[in-house]
Amino acid sequence: MNIEKKSKNNDIFKKNLILAVLVVVISVIPIVFLKNAEFTGSDDKAQEAITQIDSNYKPWFLPIFEPPSAEIESLLFSLQAAIGSGIVCYYFGYLKGKSKKDEGKNE
């Protein structure tokens, strides 16, 4: 029973590891193969396209607050990711602890 359970845990770990590696590969491929690309945001591209279609169009409203520099912007982004993953990881830690406890009870 125990061995069976362990091998099942390993299965999920392996599966998730492979999936995670795939995600990394997918995002690295463009960087490796498109050496001259700028990798700007696709929203900036859309801005250009709008100006092409209607050269008279002027944004009628400007952002209320804009991060003062690229560094500060990336700070805010990483903060967002950090807080988000903190919550996600907390949740799974909680689940894991809980399932261990339940297991102990059953035995």
Question: Smallest distance, Å, CB 54 to another protein?
Answer: 6
Question: Smallest distance, Å, CB 52 to another protein?
Answer: 8
What residues line the site for another protein (CB under 8 A)? 9, 12, 15-16, 19-20, 22-23, 26-27, 29-31, 34, 36-47, 49-50, 53-54, 57, 59-67, 73, 76-81, 83-88, 91-92, 94-96, 98-99
Going by C-alpha positions, the residue among 104, 41, 81, 27 that lies closest to residue 96 is 104
The two tokens of residue 60 are: 């009628």
Question: Smallest distance, Å, CB 104 to another protein?
Answer: 15
Q: How far apart are the C-alpha atoms of 12 and 81, rounded to whole Å?
A: 24
Q: Report yes or no: 12 and 19 within 8 Å, Cβ to Cβ.
A: no
